[in-house]
Amino acid sequence: MYKTQLLKAPQFKQQALNLRSLSQSAPCKKFGEIPLAPPDKILGISEAYVNDSNPNKINLGVGAYRDNSGKPIIFPSVKEAEKILLQKETEKEYTGINGSKNFQNIVKNFIFNNSGKDANGKQLIDDNRIVTAQTISGTGSLRVIADFLNRFYSSKKILVPKPTWANHVAVFKDAGLEPEFYAYYETSKNDLDFDNLKKSLESQPNESVVLLHACCHNPTGMDLTNEQWDEVLQIIQDKKFFPLVDMAYQGFASGKPFQDIELIRKLTKLANENKIPSFALCQSFAKNMGLYGERTGSISIITPNADASKAIESQLKKLIRPIYSSPPIHGSKIVEVIFDEQSGLLPQWLEELDKVVGRLNDVRQKLYEKLDKSNYNWDHLLKQRGMFVYTGLTPEQVQKLRNEYSVYATEDGRFSISGINENNVDYLANAINEVIKN
């Protein structure tokens, strides 16, 4: 039987006891007794925005791209890919439990081999040390790996940065893991809290799972430097942590996907050196291809050896089958067409993505220039990367923006800058200046 830190024999007896205790936890006898769940904070912002009659209202809540007119877009390369599919697609059959093999290979080559630029990633692929499964976007991949770790990994503790995407904690808890925060951001300084980040990781038990944001940290937009990553990865080695990397925004830091994954390159090198023999990556094309509703993503697990890969792939299939049987195919087929050399769409998509990120950076700069700096330091806005700015505004100030100016954002002061454009940046800056002044 394959044995490693990653896989451990399931404790069937204990699992049975856990299931029995769940079934005895005083369930509701009638549907009328089911308590009302609180609304999702981010989606609730969108609902409130829709119901607001103020013509100047601004939605800065949901992290989905909008153009300079405030409208959602479809990448032209995606449209072209769909035209090709319309002409050439001959069936809508189920794909495999782990998804399309072609899609899996594209993900491996795109991320780990960097399309031929990363020798360490290529070595892992050649050695059959990467197991990739197509999933239901990034959230689906997070849930799959969380369930997998709950079943097979030696520790249920997962360390997540404070703050992090709110759904991280919900996904991990529902899968049976035990999330605990590690220091990441100092709100009083609007900057990374790197010294305490290292101390808090060093204080945790060996073999814990640790969640890392590959780039464009959500919600702060503050990423570690290459030198800081080296220090964190040394701690991970010393503590024998299992790294779980979430990469929802590849390309949104620099506009160039290959430049945004230095952390992945560092991890593939350490995997080849057997210093961090195993890690996992959750990835999505929702943002960088605009395939939000297509739910197109993947989970990749880097394993110690080819035999381990066989065991892990078999268990992934066994786990996925009773959840959703197999992933949707339309989004993955779009990805396959774009990466097909015959379509010629890959350079076009990369150029489109670069322009999208360029607009976001221009808007970030314009907002910064229009903000009053006489009684508040806004320099952190220019250090942050990606789709968000972490303003440092208090919940009371955010609420005042909503009540008095119809500006909708999350209570932690995270703004989705894709909701800002040339038509509303003056109004937004003035609203913020008034709130800060008062």
In the chain, the amino acid numbered 73 is I
Residues 430 and 327 in one domain: no
Asked whether the CA dihedral 69, 73, 76, 79 is positive or negative, the reply is: negative
Burial (CB count within 10 angstroms: exposed 0-12, middle 13-18, buried 19+), residue 253: buried
Burial (CB count within 10 angstroms: exposed 0-12, middle 13-18, buried 19+), residue 30: exposed
pLDDT above 80 for 12: no
Residues 250 and 312 in one domain: yes
pLDDT above 60 for 271: yes
Do the domain assignments include residue 23?
no
Last residue of a domain, one of 339, 366, 385: 339
pLDDT above 90 for 41: no
Each residue's pLDDT tens digit, 181-194: 999 999 999 999 99
Give the H or E element holding residue 266. helix 262-272
Residues 299 and 328 in one domain: yes
**CB count in 10 Å sphere of residue 411:** 15
pLDDT at 45: 84
Residues 212 and 303 in one domain: yes
The alpha-helical segments, DSSP class H, found in 153-225 are: 166-174, 194-202
Residues 257 and 306 in one domain: yes
Each residue's pLDDT tens digit, 359-376: 999 999 999 999 999 989
What span, in angstroms and rounded, lies between the C-alpha atoms of 420 and 269? 39
What span, in angstroms and rounded, lies between the C-alpha atoms of 353 and 356? 5
Nearest Cα to Cα of residue 229 among 209, 253, 213, 207: 213
Mean predicted confidence (pLDDT) in 371-393: 94
Q: Which residue has the higher pLDDT, 233 or 117?
A: 233
pLDDT above 60 for 2: no
Each residue's pLDDT tens digit, 49-64: 989 999 999 999 878 9
Residues 288 and 424 in one domain: no
Residues 329 and 210 in one domain: yes
pLDDT at 3: 43
pLDDT at 43: 73
Residues 171 and 308 in one domain: yes
Do the domain assignments include residue 235?
yes
Do the domain assignments include residue 26?
no
Residues 170 and 305 in one domain: yes
Nearest Cα to Cα of residue 252 among 109, 4, 63: 63
How many domains does the chain fold into? Answer: 2
pLDDT at 9: 36
pLDDT at 5: 53
Residues 400 and 258 in one domain: no
**Which residues are bridge partners to 186 per DSSP?**
191
Catalytic residues: 165, 246, 287
Do the domain assignments include residue 242?
yes
Residues 105 and 254 in one domain: yes
DSSP annotation of 243: E
Report the percent of the chain where pLDDT is more than 90: 85
Residues 249 and 381 in one domain: no
Do the domain assignments include residue 427?
yes
Last residue of a domain, one of 339, 364, 380: 339
What span, in angstroms and rounded, lies between the C-alpha atoms of 45 and 59? 8
Contacts of 110 (CB under 8 A, 6+ apart): 257, 339
Contact 7, 278 (CB under 8 A): no
Token reading at 301: 């697990």
pLDDT above 60 for 17: no
Do the domain assignments include residue 81?
no
Q: Measured at the alpha carbon of residue 243, what is the angle toward residues 413 and 390, in degrees to the nearest 5?
A: 10
For the whole prediction, is pTM greater than 0.85? yes
What span, in angstroms and rounded, lies between the C-alpha atoms of 262 and 278? 17
pLDDT above 60 for 16: no
Do the domain assignments include residue 154?
yes
What span, in angstroms and rounded, lies between the C-alpha atoms of 340 and 344? 7
Do the domain assignments include residue 32?
no
CATH of residue 155's domain is: 3.40.640.10
Q: Which residue has the higher pLDDT, 436 or 5?
A: 436
Contact 56, 405 (CB under 8 A): yes
Token reading at 245: 């990397």
Q: Which residue has the higher pLDDT, 26 or 158?
A: 158
Q: Which residue has 């009302």 as its token pair?
A: 36
The overall average pLDDT reported for the chain is: 92
Pairing of strands 407-408, 58-59: parallel
Q: Range of 396's domain? A: 41-75+346-437
Specify the range with the lowest mean pLDDT, choosing from 23-27, 237-241, 336-340: 23-27
Last residue of a domain, one of 293, 311, 339: 339
